[in-house]
Structure formats: structure tokens, C-alpha cells
Amino acid sequence: MENIRDLMAADHRQCDDCFVAVERLVARAAWADADAEFDRLRDAMQNHFDAEEAILFPAFEARTGMSMGPTRVMRGEHDQMRELLDAAKAALDARDADDYSGTAETLLIMMQQHNMKEENILYPMCDQQLATQLETLLAQLKNGISGAMK
């Protein structure tokens, strides 16, 4: 049976793939392609954050009554990653490969440790707590991460 953890973790891996694609293009100084790929990365991450903040986290908070717990921390980390994405975009616009690679490295670790907390702790809790509404939630989340909500 499909669950939240598998769906959202698979989306994390897709974001990883976009991240790698940009890094490779920047390393080759293929700037125009890197710009396009970066937009894909930013959209994918943004859609993922939005789906969590608008669908998954409110459902979890309503069910558990924990609005100051893990979801608050995750929202904070989303903001930090949004800032890093902005900084990476600025480095890309300036065609500054060193600055891009430093910001990207920071973003990578930030996003990986964030993913780890979600995949190991938060998503399994969501699967457990939100079992009764799983089907509806999964459909909404799929819609959200694909960007169809916009």
C-alpha cells in the first residue's frame, strides 16, 4: 500500500537528481542549460515545500495538536532552503561558479539532513497518525508536488 513516506521520499530523490544536473552543467560552464535546469530544481523544491506546508503539515497539526513541534522546525528549514535557493540563483546569474558551488554544497547538506528528519521521523509519524485520511491526502500531495496546485 502506498504511503506518505514513500511518495515524499521519491520526490526528494527527484529534487536530488535536478540538483546534480545543475551542478554538472555549472562544472562544464554550460550556463544557459544550467539556468533552465536550476529553474526546474527550484520549482520542484518549491512545489514540495508548498505541498507540505499547505496540505501535509496542517493535517498533522490538526490530528496531533502539535503545531509547535516538528512541523514548525520543518517550516523554518524550508525558509532557510528558500534563502539558499535565492543565493544560488544570484550566483548563477552572476556566472560565479565558485560562489554557486559553495552555496549549492550548503544547500545540499541542508536539504539532505532535512530530508533525513522527514523520512525517518516525520513521515512515518504522518503515516501512522493520518492513516484514516491517507487516500485523500496522497492524492492531494501528488497534485501538489507535481505543481498542479498553482
Partner 1 sequence: MPALLSFDQSPPLAASLRFFLTAPLFAILAGILLLWSGPDSLASRWTPAVLALTHLIAAGFMLQVMLGAMLQILPVVAGANMARPLRVATLVHGAITFGVLFLGAAFLTFSPALFKLAAILLGAGISIFVASAASALYGIASPSPTIQGLKHALAGLTVTVGLGVAMSVSLGWSLDSPLLQLADIHLGWGFVAWGAVLLAAVAYVVVPMFQITPAYPDWFERSFSLSALAAVALWTIAEWLQLDIAMALLGTVVVALAVLFAIVTLDIQRRSKRARFDASQHCWRVAMLSASAAGALWLAASTLTAVGEWPAWPLLCGVLALCGGFMSVIIGMLYKIVPFLIWLHLQNQGQQGRVPAPNMKKIIATRDMDRQMLAHFAACALLLLAVCWPVAFVYPAGIALIVANGWLLLNLMSALAVHRAHLKKIKQVVGAP
Q: How far apart are CA 60 and CA 44, in angstroms?
A: 22
Closer residue to partner 1 (CB): 19 or 48 = 19
Cβ contact 57:71 at 8 Å:
yes
CB of residue 145 to partner 1, shortest distance in Å = 20
Q: What share of the chain is helix, strand, coil (3-state, %, to 5)?
A: 85, 0, 15
Options 67, 120, 136, 146; binder of partner 1; rule CB under 8 A: 120
Interaction residues for partner 1, span 17-76 (CB under 8 A): 17, 19-20, 23-24, 26-27, 66, 69-70, 73, 76
16 near partner 1, judged by CB under 8 A: yes
Residue 149 φ/ψ region, left for φ over 0, alpha for ψ in the -120 to 50 degree band, beta for the rest: alpha
DSSP state of 2: -
DSSP state of 30: -
Binding site for partner 1 (CB under 8 A): 16-17, 19-20, 23-24, 26-27, 66, 69-70, 73, 76, 79-80, 83, 87, 98-99, 101-103, 105-106, 108-110, 112-113, 116-117, 120-121, 124-125
